[in-house]
Amino acid sequence: MSDLFIAAYSVQSRAFAAGASLAALQRDAGVEPEDIVVVTRGPAGRISLHRSVDSITGQPVGDGRWGVLIGMLFLDGRTPDAQGQGLSDRLRAAGLDARFVQDAASCLLPGGAAVGIHVRMLGADRVRSHLAQAGGEPRILHQRLSAETEDALQDLQDQLPPVALGQTQPHGLV
Protein backbone atom coordinates (compact mmCIF):
# COMPACT_ATOMS: atom_id res chain seq x y z
CA MET A 1 0.00 0.00 0.00
CA SER A 2 1.06 3.55 -0.64
CA ASP A 3 -0.26 7.10 -0.58
CA LEU A 4 -0.78 9.72 -3.24
CA PHE A 5 -0.71 13.38 -2.17
CA ILE A 6 -1.41 16.60 -4.03
CA ALA A 7 -0.96 19.99 -2.40
CA ALA A 8 -2.33 22.87 -4.49
CA TYR A 9 -1.01 26.40 -4.04
CA SER A 10 -2.14 29.71 -5.48
CA VAL A 11 1.51 30.79 -5.80
CA GLN A 12 3.88 28.68 -7.89
CA SER A 13 6.96 29.42 -5.79
CA ARG A 14 5.25 27.83 -2.76
CA ALA A 15 4.73 24.57 -4.66
CA PHE A 16 8.37 24.48 -5.78
CA ALA A 17 9.51 25.13 -2.20
CA ALA A 18 7.22 22.37 -0.92
CA GLY A 19 8.60 19.97 -3.55
CA ALA A 20 12.17 20.73 -2.48
CA SER A 21 11.16 20.31 1.15
CA LEU A 22 9.59 16.90 0.44
CA ALA A 23 12.75 15.79 -1.38
CA ALA A 24 14.79 16.83 1.67
CA LEU A 25 12.38 14.92 3.92
CA GLN A 26 12.97 11.78 1.84
CA ARG A 27 16.76 12.20 2.01
CA ASP A 28 16.68 12.84 5.77
CA ALA A 29 14.47 9.80 6.34
CA GLY A 30 16.85 7.64 4.29
CA VAL A 31 14.05 6.14 2.20
CA GLU A 32 14.14 5.29 -1.48
CA PRO A 33 13.21 8.41 -3.44
CA GLU A 34 9.67 8.50 -4.78
CA ASP A 35 8.44 10.67 -7.60
CA ILE A 36 7.79 14.29 -6.74
CA VAL A 37 6.32 16.54 -9.39
CA VAL A 38 5.32 20.19 -9.44
CA VAL A 39 2.52 20.90 -11.89
CA THR A 40 2.03 24.51 -12.93
CA ARG A 41 -0.85 26.13 -14.77
CA GLY A 42 0.07 29.26 -16.65
CA PRO A 43 -2.23 32.30 -16.83
CA ALA A 44 -3.61 31.02 -20.16
CA GLY A 45 -4.30 27.58 -18.67
CA ARG A 46 -1.31 25.65 -20.07
CA ILE A 47 -0.20 22.76 -17.82
CA SER A 48 3.52 22.05 -17.32
CA LEU A 49 5.22 19.24 -15.38
CA HIS A 50 8.41 19.88 -13.43
CA ARG A 51 9.66 16.51 -12.21
CA SER A 52 12.31 15.96 -9.58
CA VAL A 53 15.54 15.14 -11.34
CA ASP A 54 18.57 13.36 -9.87
CA SER A 55 21.39 15.92 -9.98
CA ILE A 56 23.97 13.22 -10.81
CA THR A 57 22.18 11.20 -13.52
CA GLY A 58 19.84 13.86 -14.87
CA GLN A 59 17.04 11.27 -14.86
CA PRO A 60 13.70 11.72 -13.12
CA VAL A 61 13.70 10.58 -9.50
CA GLY A 62 11.78 7.35 -9.08
CA ASP A 63 11.73 6.79 -12.90
CA GLY A 64 9.16 9.53 -13.52
CA ARG A 65 6.16 7.24 -13.95
CA TRP A 66 4.25 8.45 -10.87
CA GLY A 67 5.14 12.05 -11.65
CA VAL A 68 3.61 11.75 -15.11
CA LEU A 69 0.55 9.99 -13.70
CA ILE A 70 0.09 12.76 -11.13
CA GLY A 71 0.39 15.32 -13.91
CA MET A 72 -2.29 13.47 -15.87
CA LEU A 73 -4.75 14.09 -13.03
CA PHE A 74 -4.83 17.78 -14.00
CA LEU A 75 -5.46 17.24 -17.70
CA ASP A 76 -9.00 15.92 -17.84
CA GLY A 77 -11.43 17.91 -15.75
CA ARG A 78 -14.33 17.19 -18.05
CA THR A 79 -17.56 15.49 -17.09
CA PRO A 80 -17.09 11.71 -17.33
CA ASP A 81 -17.46 10.34 -20.84
CA ALA A 82 -20.65 8.34 -21.49
CA GLN A 83 -18.53 5.46 -22.85
CA GLY A 84 -16.01 5.69 -20.01
CA GLN A 85 -13.14 6.47 -22.40
CA GLY A 86 -11.80 9.74 -21.00
CA LEU A 87 -8.60 10.01 -19.01
CA SER A 88 -10.44 10.64 -15.75
CA ASP A 89 -12.60 7.58 -16.48
CA ARG A 90 -9.48 5.43 -16.87
CA LEU A 91 -8.01 6.76 -13.61
CA ARG A 92 -11.23 5.97 -11.76
CA ALA A 93 -11.41 2.53 -13.37
CA ALA A 94 -7.90 1.91 -12.05
CA GLY A 95 -9.20 2.53 -8.53
CA LEU A 96 -8.74 6.22 -7.80
CA ASP A 97 -11.66 7.73 -5.93
CA ALA A 98 -13.94 9.77 -8.21
CA ARG A 99 -13.89 12.71 -5.79
CA PHE A 100 -10.07 12.67 -5.62
CA VAL A 101 -9.84 12.73 -9.45
CA GLN A 102 -12.42 15.53 -9.69
CA ASP A 103 -10.79 17.59 -6.92
CA ALA A 104 -7.34 17.19 -8.49
CA ALA A 105 -8.61 18.33 -11.89
CA SER A 106 -10.24 21.42 -10.39
CA CYS A 107 -7.76 22.51 -7.69
CA LEU A 108 -5.09 23.91 -10.00
CA LEU A 109 -6.00 27.52 -10.79
CA PRO A 110 -4.42 29.64 -13.55
CA GLY A 111 -1.11 31.00 -12.25
CA GLY A 112 -1.04 28.38 -9.49
CA ALA A 113 0.85 25.16 -8.94
CA ALA A 114 0.53 21.87 -7.15
CA VAL A 115 3.11 19.49 -5.79
CA GLY A 116 2.33 15.81 -6.03
CA ILE A 117 4.12 12.91 -4.39
CA HIS A 118 3.69 9.16 -4.33
CA VAL A 119 5.03 7.70 -1.06
CA ARG A 120 5.44 4.31 0.49
CA MET A 121 7.68 4.56 3.50
CA LEU A 122 7.36 8.14 4.71
CA GLY A 123 3.91 7.64 6.16
CA ALA A 124 0.79 9.62 5.33
CA ASP A 125 0.68 11.52 8.62
CA ARG A 126 4.30 12.59 8.28
CA VAL A 127 3.80 13.89 4.73
CA ARG A 128 0.53 15.68 5.59
CA SER A 129 2.18 17.32 8.62
CA HIS A 130 5.21 18.33 6.58
CA LEU A 131 3.05 19.93 3.89
CA ALA A 132 0.99 21.80 6.48
CA GLN A 133 4.14 23.11 8.20
CA ALA A 134 5.69 24.24 4.90
CA GLY A 135 3.27 27.17 4.77
CA GLY A 136 1.36 28.69 1.91
CA GLU A 137 -1.97 27.22 3.06
CA PRO A 138 -2.17 24.48 0.44
CA ARG A 139 -5.28 22.52 -0.38
CA ILE A 140 -4.12 18.99 0.42
CA LEU A 141 -5.65 16.01 -1.38
CA HIS A 142 -4.79 12.49 -0.25
CA GLN A 143 -5.66 9.02 -1.43
CA ARG A 144 -4.54 5.75 0.09
CA LEU A 145 -3.75 3.25 -2.68
CA SER A 146 -4.52 -0.42 -2.19
CA ALA A 147 -2.29 -3.04 -3.77
CA GLU A 148 -4.95 -3.61 -6.44
CA THR A 149 -5.16 0.10 -7.26
CA GLU A 150 -1.36 0.35 -7.43
CA ASP A 151 -1.28 -2.60 -9.85
CA ALA A 152 -3.99 -1.06 -12.05
CA LEU A 153 -2.22 2.32 -12.05
CA GLN A 154 1.06 0.56 -12.88
CA ASP A 155 -0.68 -1.06 -15.88
CA LEU A 156 -1.86 2.39 -16.94
CA GLN A 157 1.67 3.77 -16.50
CA ASP A 158 3.08 0.93 -18.60
CA GLN A 159 1.05 2.29 -21.52
CA LEU A 160 2.89 5.61 -21.38
CA PRO A 161 5.42 6.08 -24.17
CA PRO A 162 9.07 6.36 -23.04
CA VAL A 163 9.24 9.94 -24.34
CA ALA A 164 6.52 10.96 -21.84
CA LEU A 165 8.71 9.66 -19.04
CA GLY A 166 11.78 11.55 -20.23
CA GLN A 167 13.56 8.28 -21.06
CA THR A 168 14.11 9.11 -24.75
CA GLN A 169 14.02 12.17 -26.94
CA PRO A 170 11.10 12.60 -29.36
CA HIS A 171 12.01 11.84 -32.97
CA GLY A 172 13.78 14.78 -34.53
CA LEU A 173 14.78 16.46 -31.25
CA VAL A 174 18.33 16.64 -29.99
Task: Check: CB of residue 37 under 8 Å from CB of residue 67.
Answer: yes
In a domain, 139, yes or no: yes
In a domain, 15, yes or no: yes
Q: How many beta carbons lie within 10 A of that of residue 149, not counting itself? A: 18
Task: Check: CB of residue 98 under 8 Å from CB of residue 92.
Answer: yes
Whole-angstrom Cα distance, residue 170 to residue 62? Answer: 21
In a domain, 167, yes or no: no
Looking at residue 120, what DSSP letter applies?
Answer: S
Whole-angstrom Cα distance, residue 133 to residue 18? Answer: 10
Section 107-124 average pLDDT: 88
In a domain, 171, yes or no: no
Say how many domains are in the chain: 1
The parent domain of residue 57 ranges over 2-159
In a domain, 168, yes or no: no
Task: Check: CB of residue 20 under 8 Å from CB of residue 134.
Answer: no
Whole-angstrom Cα distance, residue 14 to residue 37? Answer: 13
The pLDDT of residue 96 = 92
Q: Which of 33-47, 50-64, 81-95 has the lowest mean pLDDT?
A: 50-64
The pLDDT of residue 68 = 79
In a domain, 43, yes or no: yes
Whole-angstrom Cα distance, residue 64 to residue 52? Answer: 8
| pLDDT tens profile 65-101 | 778 788 888 876 555 556 666 778 888 889 999 999 8
In a domain, 90, yes or no: yes
